[in-house]
Homo-oligomer: A and B are copies of this chain.
Amino acid sequence: MTSPLSAPYDNLSPVVQAAYRARGAAAEIAPLPRSVKDDALLAIADALEVRTREIVEANAEDIAKAREAGTSESIVDRLTLTPERVRAIASDVRDVVALPDPVGEVVRGSTLPNGIDLRQVRVPLGVVGIIYEARPNVTVDAAALCLKSGNAVLLRGSSSAYASNTALVRVLRDAVGGAGLPADAVQLVPGESRDSVQELMRARGLVDVLIPRGGASLIKTVVEQSTVPVIETGTGNCHVYVDADADLDMAVDILINSKAQRPSVCNAAETLLVHQDIAEAFVPRALDALAEAGVTVHADERILSYADGSKATVVPATPEDWETEYLSYDIAAAVVDSLDKAVEHIRLWTSGHTEAIVTTSQQAARRFTQLVDSTTVAVNASTRFTDGGQFGFGAEIGISTQKLHARGPMGLPELTSTKYIVTGDGHTRG
C-alpha cells in the first residue's frame, strides 16, 4: 500500500491531519522506556483530580443537552461525571501505571543454525483509533492503555459526550505535554459528524487499528466499511448449558448470576439450554429462580411444558430469540436432546463471546470445551467472568469477539505487535 504520508499535508482533511500528527507522536513514544510513560500517566491522574471542576462543568453541558433531547435517565447516568467518578477514573489510571510494560518483551528468540541471532520483540501498534459511545470514562481508560503500550490514540467518542470528551482530552494533552511527551499522542478526532468516522475508517496506512466499542450497529458499520484493520468487540449472545449430570444448586446459582447480576453487559447470559434428562428436575427450579430475579423467559415448547403453575413470566420463543442479545431481564430457553445438540445450537446462534457448562462429568466438560468455539468457555463458572479485570489483566481495552490478533478480553499485550530483529556478522544467504 502506498503511504498517504506522501500526499501534500495542507490538502488533507482535519481527520487525516490528526492521524498524520498521531503518527509522528507514535514514532516518538514507541521507543520510550516504561518510567517515562509511567510519569506521564501519573501526571494525567494528578491533572484529572486538580481539574475536576472544569471536567464536571463541561459534562453538565452534555447532560443538559441530553435531557433536552429526552434521553433516558439510564443513559444520562452513564454519561454523568461527578467528582467521585473523576477520582475513580484517575485511580484507574494509577492502576495502569502499576502494570508491566509489554513493549520490548522478547516473545521468541533463538540462534539459527547459521549463527544468526533471531529475536521477536513486542512493539507498539502505532496509532490506535477507538470509536465508542456514551461513557466518557472510556476516553481516559483508552488513552492510558494506549500510552502505556507506546501507542498514539485517536479518540472518536459519541457526539452526546462531545463537551465532556473535549475537556478530558484537553486535560490529558496538557498533562502529556507537561511530562515532556508529544501531546499529539492523545487526540480527539475533530468534528462531531459521521464524516469523521468515515475518514478514520479509510485512513489505512496512517491508523494501524480501529477498535469500535458500543452497540451492534456501530460495530457492524465499522467492520463492513473500514479499510483500516478492525478488532471487532463486544456483542455477547452468551449461553448457559445445564448438562444431564449437573449439581442443580450450582446450576441455579450460575444461571442467575450469569443472567441477572448485571444484564446490560456483554458477558451476561442470553440463552439457557437444558439437557432433556435433567429438564424435569431443573426447569421448574430455574423458572422459579428466574421469576424471583425478575427475568422473563422466552421458552421453546419443552420449557413451556414446565411453566404451568410457575411464578415465572414465560412467553413462547420465536427463532429471533435464539440470536438476540437482550441486555435486559430476558432470557431465551430451550431443552436439548444431548450435549452435542447444545453445542450445535450454540455454534449456530452464538456471537462467539462466552458459553458456560454446568456439569459434574469430566467427559462432558472436556467435550464441551473442545467443541465450543467462542472466546471463552466456562466450566462450572458464571459467564460474567469474561473480563480483563477478572482475568487479572489489570485493565481492558475491550473484548474481542473475532479470531485474529486478539480474542477475548484485551489488555496491554493486545495493544502491541511484534518485530523480528535479525543480528548477524555479515551473514548473506547462499
Chain B residue at minimal CB-CB distance from A223: B227
- Chain B contacts of A261 at CB under 8 A? 428-429
**Residues in A1-55 with C-beta less than 8 Å from chain B:** 1-3, 5-6, 27, 30-31
- Chain B contacts of A369 at CB under 8 A? 421
**Residues in A371-390 with C-beta less than 8 Å from chain B:** 371, 373-382, 384-386, 390
- Chain B contacts of A301 at CB under 8 A? none
Known: A227-B223, A392-B112. A378 touches B1 (CB 8 A): no
Q: Give the copy number.
A: 2
CB <8 Å contact, B427 and A209: no
- Chain B contacts of A379 at CB under 8 A? 421-424
- Chain B contacts of A309 at CB under 8 A? none
A110 within 8 Å of B (CB atoms) = yes
A351 within 8 Å of B (CB atoms) = yes
A329 within 8 Å of B (CB atoms) = no
CB contact between A422 and one of B27, B116, B229, B386 (< 8 Å): that residue: B386
- Chain B contacts of A422 at CB under 8 A? 376-379, 381, 385-386
A193 within 8 Å of B (CB atoms) = no
CB <8 Å contact, B390 and A426: no
- Chain B contacts of A407 at CB under 8 A? 417-419
Query: Which of A80-88, A177-185, A397-405 lies at the binding interface?
Result: A397-405
CB <8 Å contact, B376 and A420: yes
**Residues in A340-380 with C-beta less than 8 Å from chain B:** 347-349, 351, 365, 369-371, 373-380
CB <8 Å contact, A391 and B348: no
A94 within 8 Å of B (CB atoms) = no
CB <8 Å contact, A229 and B391: no
A133 within 8 Å of B (CB atoms) = no
A279 within 8 Å of B (CB atoms) = no
A208 within 8 Å of B (CB atoms) = yes
Chain B residue at minimal CB-CB distance from A392: B112
CB <8 Å contact, B235 and A223: no
Q: Mark A138-178, 1 if CB is under 8 A from B, else 0.
A: 00000000000000000000000000000000000000000
8 shortest interchain CB distances as A-B pairs: A381-B424, A257-B428, A403-B417, A250-B426, A405-B405, A384-B429, A381-B427, A404-B405
Contact surface of A with B, Cβ cutoff 8 Å: 1-3, 5-6, 27, 30-31, 110, 112-113, 116, 118, 120, 123, 125-126, 204, 208-209, 220, 223-224, 227, 229-232, 235, 247, 249-250, 253-254, 256-257, 261, 319, 323, 347-349, 351, 365, 369-371, 373-382, 384-386, 390-392, 402-405, 407-409, 417-429
The contact sample of 27 A-B pairs, CB cut-off 8 A, is A1-B223, A2-B323, A30-B373, A31-B371, A112-B391, A204-B223, A208-B403, A224-B227, A229-B230, A229-B404, A231-B404, A253-B426, A253-B428, A375-B420, A376-B421, A377-B419, A378-B423, A380-B426, A381-B424, A381-B428, A385-B422, A385-B424, A385-B429, A390-B429, A404-B405, A405-B405, A408-B418
Given A30-B371, A385-B427, 8 further pairs, Cβ under 8 A? A1-B232, A6-B319, A112-B391, A126-B403, A257-B429, A375-B419, A390-B429, A407-B418
